[in-house]
Amino acid sequence: MDQCALAGDDYEDLTGGIEVTFLAGDAWKPVEIDIVNDQAVEGTEQFGLYIEIDTGTKNDVLGELNKATVTIKSEDTDIPGKS
């Protein structure tokens, strides 16, 4: 889900998803998404990250948090209208 930031333009296009494997006892796993550092002058942008389970077993449980908003903070210094 894009919220100003665009997949492929501002961050790695992950259409099709990322596979993360949890082993017994694992409580969390990091997920890396590459940010595109282009030459465009842009402000802070955001995109949504959704998490779902697709293992085929009924014993797997995903907590209440199944989505997050990722913020790409601007490092651009010449943004029109900003000082």
pLDDT of residue 27: 81
18-63 residue pLDDT tens: 888 878 888 888 888 999 887 788 888 999 888 877 666 666 666 6
Q: How far apart are CA 51 and CA 65, in angstroms?
A: 8
Nearest to 8 by CA among 51, 38, 30: 38
Secondary structure in 3-state letters for 47-76: EEEECCCCCCCCCCCCCCCCEEEEEECCCC
pLDDT of residue 59: 64
Neighbours of 58 (CB within 10 A): 6
The answer to whether residues 50 and 1 touch, using CB atoms and an 8 Å cutoff, is yes
Nearest to 74 by CA among 17, 4, 18: 4
* Range with the poorest average pLDDT among 2-11, 19-28, 38-47, 73-82: 73-82
